[in-house]
Structure 1
């Protein structure tokens, strides 16, 4: 019954149904679960206890008719008097003459506004009426076509007609364990709470349910992946792998050894590998990837390493060739720039098994690229893949094992939601001897002093990145900014040092040329509008200057900072910023206090929220209607653990206690989370 169209409700014709559909409301259930995003507290306050200029809701009786006086062009003031107990005060509303119809002498009303103690008057913002059962008025996201009052009327009507049809979808054991309200009670109290306590209990239940159902789907997907019969068992040569690891020019860190063991265990298993490898900038993910690829080759399989850009592909190719130098592993590079004849030869060698490892951009998984025996696909920095995109990637070829790598530390709560169907390995330790990048925050007037200091650093043979302000509204303005900064610096450092410019409007081939010249120290200062590619490795670059740093998010700043400090020399990141608000100042402060990417990403999540940090559309990260990934992180973790417990039970779907849950999940199997 709850899946019926909202058109069964009185007052909902085709036009209103379309307007409601624009809000995502098409069925009775969607209407009942369209929760308020906040509540106005309309608890009665005594005039004697209200502070001057406090925003407050005052209930009282209207004791004078509402009068509208007009002045200026389309300006008006609505005035009337109210009485609370025996205290009379005036109420004014500006430019809302239509409220006159809501004010009737001798009627009780509640007005929300700002109290002026000296004038004993209330500057009204809204008349709350009696939308709430108790001391709370629900406030919904609405549109011009659908008003608050309309929505509340329809929700009441739906509860009256169909409230009895709301069925429980959580097992009784969980409801009792966490002392949760029933689904029906919670849904009603989300719309019409009588007090704070009831609202808290209702929200607690609704958030848990939302997170738990999402995690049930994610954990189900994870279990299905593990159970696939056509997964590969990569039975690598243990002795050869140990010999290769011993031949490396450095000792692996404990963290690298731990994650390598986790990955190798997955490779040997006949179950399909789906693993995310997280590691901060410079923590040594490439070496771990090389070990996994070598293991795959010793088992007679081929490996593929996909990266977002050609310059990164080239760089990974060079790194792997160095690491595999003592072995007979054949590594090839395939990018958009590969010449036609060479491309044909590579594709032929790949198809007949002569090439062991192929490095390239995501073009590797397109049609026409055939492998003799693909066993492992590693993707680097593809942290914006959604659940469905990852599924498509897995289905290429003969179900190869898949390892995703990212140098973008992902906060725990986002990892649980965005990558819940994956196993996660974390390199949480930096190689010995790496000097942390020193970060300083300066105001714009100090820039000239800093440039004098950078001149001395360049004299010592080092190089510098200069990142220009990010102007989201206009890429052209970005370019103009960069060009003017480039011209100034070119003049400042001439004739001794070469300054080059990189921006988004250039062709890829131009960008590659400029980056290559910088890598070869043919230019000493690189001015760029775009974020320097993650993973670009120029050990000689020891300085990073970020202009208007407060325009960037914390995670972006941390990624930029990771472009320096890649050699043995001390490195510096200078943030030039004059933040206008406390959040901006806090971001600068955090950057100067920690170089730990995981700490930075957690702070970024707290300050900006998941939508800003991750980008919902690109990441496949769901938008929850009631749950907040930051404020309700502890509930998310509990929900994940409980979902895992359920999936560990054999055939839980046929157990009587879980019948309602299984039915509900079946009905919702095409859920929006997996779009």
Structure 2
């Protein structure tokens, strides 16, 4: 494909220097088009603008040196290591030209002198020489100056760089810029050396006495500028990636279309897209290194804003569409009030009352509710959801509650059925574990409207599940479902109200992106009967003491969990596993107690039997994997021992701990951690010993894991940002989201909104 015909949507293989082989490497990192390449931005920058003389160098300094190659070649050590060794002399001892001018391909709008100015045209090399003249003096250009001696020498070494010899990259007489960390030559010559330096060859042979170096258009990508540093893509390092990006920008020129609405860009004084891309990859020399590395230059801010704006506008459009759909309008009658009074097991907290009011206000409106109900472990979200269910049932509709696991679904079923018993509602449960004949009958009852509230797993979204009149959908632990699964359930009713619940506290930044189209309710206080949980960090040497602590608690009439990360032993990991430890605890450690085993591989009937035995007090100790992470509610269980706690994430540890402390007795969580441990593991464990606040824990977890890994799965709906960072760019996120919602609600013109919405749909299909 001719370079002149290159567009953002062109396959990346058509960029100069890419080709099929490199295109495959780039595709492995998600770089398939020219646009993908241009949005593969540097993760940091290095200031290589200052050219240092060899005589001025200091050990430990990172510097750029202009030098002429004297000797070079490959040697092999006795140990078999190949070393490419190059000796050079300061360029002030030879006829040289200027440091390469920091250039960019010509992109963007013509410069107006402001922060949004386009990329300047390529500089005349002769003008760019002035920097070297002023720093080294005119003799540096004319060949005059210092005679050669050892203190003007510098050595450069590359380990196992056989390719430098094979390709004959260096030859005596070349003038080269070298960049790297300077150290003294260890052999006592008094010379300096640079190990594994970056380099840029600016002159191939000995010039005449009056000649100057004339760098090419692509020169100085590595030296003499603020140099972008990229994450390597396979064997493609920063050096190659710079040239590929340069080539793409040079081919596109000013043909990079704007993607932000013009009214938004002008209002917020944002740089145009082409200039922003050019200056992000090849920034002006006046940009401060600190601003570049913190992603706070005008160019970088523009691109970060763009990504957040696209997400915010997409969510705003989804929200606007949802609000335009007519839904079931419920009223709060006297029957509703009396029904709620009958079933409330305790006086609700102020936070529960506030959340319920927000939910009921939504259900009274003529449009479907789309609300996120967030609360910490044990904060009482389910009782709030049940009250919302009563509003729907008394209004003549059915309710569906979808949970991610059978254990959680069964826990919800038993709890809700017991809670609603005084109201004579028909409550049932649909999971894949039920017999086919039972499921068929239940589906008939659901379709006939006989069942008022059905709890279930993914089985609820099967094609043959039909509702007579579905009015409320409750999705628990939403982050464990894909977005499509939620919508499959919603489509089973005529625009039902939707309540999404999560016990995994979500930091504000993630809530703005993942659930930005939902209204937001938070239960930020625990019921008064909940007692604080003490968390202790123990080592392997404390194992016997931990078992004795459990023995004492069980003898006093309490129950305990012992949690393991694996079901069975692993050949690869030296970890204790639930099955083997169940045998050991039953026969050797706690022979006087009744011990049960629970893990995800057990048949559904067996899992349910074990849970009911533990809940009824027939089992004293439950050995388990993380299947008890959510939904298991046994108030008499006051102790939890988590083996290999260093192997668990912060959120799962907090969820596991939330299984205790549900009664009035004091509860203790013992974290038994092995060695060696990483610093991140230590910080996770220390955080748990310091707080039981799930929202604070979530912020630490986000910091430790990063946004992309917070929920552990892309299906959770977290956008894959290319330059924006939810931790670093919180203020830009809130700014962009505010502008996006305002633009959708009050656009400068209908045409601008429609044009933008059309292009945004393509972006969402491709990226989110």
TM > 0.5 fold call: yes
1:310, distance to aligned residue in structure 2 (A): 2.8
Give 1:565's aligned residue.
661
- In the alignment, the residues of structure 2 paired with residue 637 and residue 281 of structure 1 have an alpha-carbon distance, to the nearest angstrom, of 27
Select between 497-506 and 284-293 the one with higher mean Cα deviation: 497-506
- In the alignment, the residues of structure 2 paired with residue 595 and residue 37 of structure 1 have an alpha-carbon distance, to the nearest angstrom, of 35
| Pair 1:360 & 2:360 matched | no
- In the alignment, the residues of structure 2 paired with residue 320 and residue 650 of structure 1 have an alpha-carbon distance, to the nearest angstrom, of 46
Select between 360-369 and 487-496 the one with higher mean Cα deviation: 487-496
- In the alignment, the residues of structure 2 paired with residue 63 and residue 667 of structure 1 have an alpha-carbon distance, to the nearest angstrom, of 53
CA contact (8 A) 1:305 1:380 kept: yes
CA offset digits 1:187-206 (Å, max 9, x no partner)? 00111123443743122211
CA contact (8 A) 2:568 2:580 kept: no
What secondary structure, in the 3-state scheme, does the structure 2 residue paired with 1:59 have? strand
CA offset digits 1:630-659 (Å, max 9, x no partner)? 11122112111111111121684425xx68
Matches for 1:297-308 after TM superposition, within 5 Å: 297-308=393-404
Matches for 1:186-585 after TM superposition, within 5 Å: 186-195=276-285, 196-197=287-288, 199=292, 200-201=296-297, 202-229=299-326, 231-233=327-329, 235-247=330-342, 248-469=344-565, 481-577=577-673, 578=675, 580-585=677-682
- In the alignment, the residues of structure 2 paired with residue 349 and residue 59 of structure 1 have an alpha-carbon distance, to the nearest angstrom, of 82
Give 1:108's aligned residue.
176
CA offset digits 1:468-503 (Å, max 9, x no partner)? 246999599699633343343234443321222333
1:142, distance to aligned residue in structure 2 (A): 4.6
What secondary structure, in the 3-state scheme, does the structure 2 residue paired with 1:66 have? strand
| Pair 1:88 & 2:184 matched | no
Change over 3 Å in CA distance of 1:412–1:83 after alignment to 2: farther
Give 2:164's aligned residue.
99
What secondary structure, in the 3-state scheme, does the structure 2 residue paired with 1:643 have? helix
CA offset digits 1:90-145 (Å, max 9, x no partner)? 22221112234443444122233463586654452342433247533323345457
CA offset digits 1:11-30 (Å, max 9, x no partner)? 55555555544443444333
1:437, distance to aligned residue in structure 2 (A): 0.8
- In the alignment, the residues of structure 2 paired with residue 547 and residue 650 of structure 1 have an alpha-carbon distance, to the nearest angstrom, of 56
CA contact (8 A) 2:386 2:416 kept: yes
CA offset digits 1:255-281 (Å, max 9, x no partner)? 111111111122122212222211111
CA contact (8 A) 1:377 1:401 kept: yes
Change over 3 Å in CA distance of 1:36–1:87 after alignment to 2: same
- In the alignment, the residues of structure 2 paired with residue 62 and residue 486 of structure 1 have an alpha-carbon distance, to the nearest angstrom, of 72
CA contact (8 A) 1:111 1:126 kept: yes
Give 1:163's aligned residue.
253
What secondary structure, in the 3-state scheme, does the structure 2 residue paired with 1:251 have? coil
Give 1:588's aligned residue.
685
- In the alignment, the residues of structure 1 paired with residue 602 and residue 574 of structure 2 have an alpha-carbon distance, to the nearest angstrom, of 13
1:60, distance to aligned residue in structure 2 (A): 3.0
Number of equivalent positions: 668
Change over 3 Å in CA distance of 1:122–1:194 after alignment to 2: farther
| Pair 1:603 & 2:700 matched | yes
Give 2:37's aligned residue.
31
1:42, distance to aligned residue in structure 2 (A): 3.0
What secondary structure, in the 3-state scheme, does the structure 1 residue paired with 2:591 have? coil
| Pair 1:56 & 2:54 matched | no
Specify every segment of 5 or more residues in structure 1 that has no aligned partner in the other structure, as ranges: none
Give 1:124's aligned residue.
195
CA contact (8 A) 1:42 1:110 kept: no
1:432, distance to aligned residue in structure 2 (A): 1.2
- In the alignment, the residues of structure 2 paired with residue 125 and residue 472 of structure 1 have an alpha-carbon distance, to the nearest angstrom, of 47
1:8, distance to aligned residue in structure 2 (A): 5.3
CA contact (8 A) 1:387 1:418 kept: no
Q: TM-score scaled to structure 2, two decimals?
A: 0.80
What secondary structure, in the 3-state scheme, does the structure 1 residue paired with 2:367 have? coil
1:245, distance to aligned residue in structure 2 (A): 2.9
What secondary structure, in the 3-state scheme, does the structure 1 residue paired with 2:760 have? helix
Give 1:622's aligned residue.
719
1:243, distance to aligned residue in structure 2 (A): 1.9
- In the alignment, the residues of structure 1 paired with residue 569 and residue 709 of structure 2 have an alpha-carbon distance, to the nearest angstrom, of 16
Give 1:665's aligned residue.
760
Change over 3 Å in CA distance of 1:518–1:161 after alignment to 2: same
- In the alignment, the residues of structure 2 paired with residue 347 and residue 146 of structure 1 have an alpha-carbon distance, to the nearest angstrom, of 56
Find the structure with the greater CA-based Rg: 2
1:597, distance to aligned residue in structure 2 (A): 0.5
Change over 3 Å in CA distance of 1:87–1:393 after alignment to 2: farther
- In the alignment, the residues of structure 1 paired with residue 754 and residue 603 of structure 2 have an alpha-carbon distance, to the nearest angstrom, of 58
- In the alignment, the residues of structure 2 paired with residue 607 and residue 23 of structure 1 have an alpha-carbon distance, to the nearest angstrom, of 23
- In the alignment, the residues of structure 2 paired with residue 479 and residue 182 of structure 1 have an alpha-carbon distance, to the nearest angstrom, of 55
Change over 3 Å in CA distance of 1:643–1:474 after alignment to 2: farther
Change over 3 Å in CA distance of 1:663–1:321 after alignment to 2: closer
Change over 3 Å in CA distance of 1:265–1:513 after alignment to 2: same
CA contact (8 A) 2:567 2:579 kept: no
1:244, distance to aligned residue in structure 2 (A): 2.6
Give 1:182's aligned residue.
272
Change over 3 Å in CA distance of 1:470–1:624 after alignment to 2: farther
1:169, distance to aligned residue in structure 2 (A): 2.9
CA contact (8 A) 2:64 2:223 kept: no
- Which of 3, 6, 9 aligns to 1:3? It is 9
CA offset digits 1:590-647 (Å, max 9, x no partner)? 1111101011011000011123321242312121111111111221121111111111
CA offset digits 1:192-229 (Å, max 9, x no partner)? 12344374312221111111112111211121112124
CA contact (8 A) 1:133 1:192 kept: no
Select between 192-201 and 311-320 the one with higher mean Cα deviation: 192-201
CA offset digits 1:235-266 (Å, max 9, x no partner)? 23422222233332311111111111111122
What secondary structure, in the 3-state scheme, does the structure 1 residue paired with 2:499 have? strand
Change over 3 Å in CA distance of 1:62–1:585 after alignment to 2: farther
- In the alignment, the residues of structure 1 paired with residue 435 and residue 649 of structure 2 have an alpha-carbon distance, to the nearest angstrom, of 39
- In the alignment, the residues of structure 2 paired with residue 652 and residue 259 of structure 1 have an alpha-carbon distance, to the nearest angstrom, of 37
Specify every segment of 5 or more residues in structure 2 that has no aligned partner in the other structure, as ranges: 1-6, 93-150, 201-219
- In the alignment, the residues of structure 2 paired with residue 490 and residue 449 of structure 1 have an alpha-carbon distance, to the nearest angstrom, of 17
What secondary structure, in the 3-state scheme, does the structure 1 residue paired with 2:512 have? helix
